[in-house]
């Protein structure tokens, strides 16, 4: 991601937004970021895994939109076809960033050179009075709420990681022609360790309202079948026969 700058009418009053920018980017993205508050809705149509952030290695929540890299089966005909749309798409290409001059404060950041912005075409970010336009006003409200959800997500991932509830898993995708591709870098909930938690640990998860997200993560794995169906109906190339999920093994430990 390019370095963000604080959005302001003084510096960006002439910018216009391509309102289809999020879908254009998502079209070639098979992993979408989720907040813990979105798990129950996303689990109804997308498999969800725990992955490592490329920025800092932290555990994050990710929805898979295709069993093939750089593809998205929920974007067709340049439109989002999913019932649920992640917040990360609704707010793109605007992001929360630390305020450049006010400590412990956040503001909206953008990459003004991004192709989503233009001075010629699109929806103006600001009106003639330098006030936020309808789209920017909506995004601002969502981002303010998302900041709290981001903290909640971090706390959830930290808690289940400290309890040892995260296990790596491979997804092996078998095609009609005999080819097998593997999706790596994915993690899910370790059901055996979840069952072995003490009564106190389980009660603490229930108290923090973490049980519903945990079960949503597990249930969402069945949505791999939905991706197979969408691939075989709308995707390109060979048909997928099946996708199997196996606990990742440490190959270095092999005899």
Q: What is the pTM of this model?
A: 0.89
Q: Report, as ranges of residue numbers, the positions in the chain whose pLDDT lies below 70.
A: 1, 248-255
Separation between Cα atoms, residue 234 and residue 237, nearest integer Å: 10
What tokens does 38 get? 């979105």
**Total count of residues recorded for the chain:** 255
- Would you state the pLDDT for residue 91? 95
Give the sheet arrangement for strand 123-124, strand by strand: 117-118, 16-17, 123-124
Separation between Cα atoms, residue 118 and residue 98, nearest integer Å: 25
- Would you state the pLDDT for residue 100? 84
In this structure, is the dihedral angle defined by the CA atoms of residues 209, 210, 214 and 217, taken in order, positive or negative?
positive
Residue 244 half-sphere exposure toward CB, CA atoms < 13 A:
7
Single out the residue of 134, 130, 194 nearest to residue 163, CA to CA: 194
Instruction: Characterize 186-225 residue by residue with b for buried, 16 or more Cβ atoms within 10 angstroms of its Cβ, and e for exposed.
Output: bbbbbeeebeeeeeeeeeebeeeebeebbebbeebbebbe
Q: Which domain, by its residues, includes 32? A: 5-253
The count of domains in the chain is: 1
- Would you state the pLDDT for residue 251? 42
What tokens does 218 get? 């597990």
């Amino acid at each position: 991601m390019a370095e963000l700058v604080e959005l302001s009418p003084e510096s960006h009053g002439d910018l216009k937004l391509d309102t289809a920018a999020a879908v254009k980017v998502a079209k070639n993205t098979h992993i979408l970021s989720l907040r813990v508050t979105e798990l129950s809705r996303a689990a109804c149509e997308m498999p969800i895994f725990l992955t490592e952030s490329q920025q800092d290695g932290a555990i994050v929540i990710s929805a898979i939109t295709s069993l093939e890299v750089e593809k998205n089966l929920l974007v067709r005909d340049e439109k989002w076809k999913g019932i649920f749309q992640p917040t990360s798409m609704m707010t793109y290409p605007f992001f929360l960033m630390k305020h450049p001059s006010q400590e412990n404060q956040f503001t909206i950041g953008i990459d003004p050179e991004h192709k989503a912005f233009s001075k010629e075409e699109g929806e103006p970010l600001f009106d003639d009075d330098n006030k936020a336009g309808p789209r920017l006003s909506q995004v601002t409200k969502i981002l303010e709420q998302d900041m709290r959800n981001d903290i909640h997500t971090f706390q959830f991932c930290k808690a289940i990681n400290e309890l040892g509830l995260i296990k790596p898993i491979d997804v092996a995708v078998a095609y009609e022609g005999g080819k097998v591709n593997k999706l790596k870098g994915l993690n899910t909930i370790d059901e055996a360790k979840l069952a072995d938690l003490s009564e106190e640990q389980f009660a603490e998860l229930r108290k923090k309202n973490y049980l519903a997200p945990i079960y949503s993560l597990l249930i969402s794995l069945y949505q791999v079948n939905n991706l197979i169906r969408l691939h075989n109906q709308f995707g390109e190339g060979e048909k997928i026969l099946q996708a199997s999920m196996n606990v990742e093994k440490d190959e270095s430990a092999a005899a």
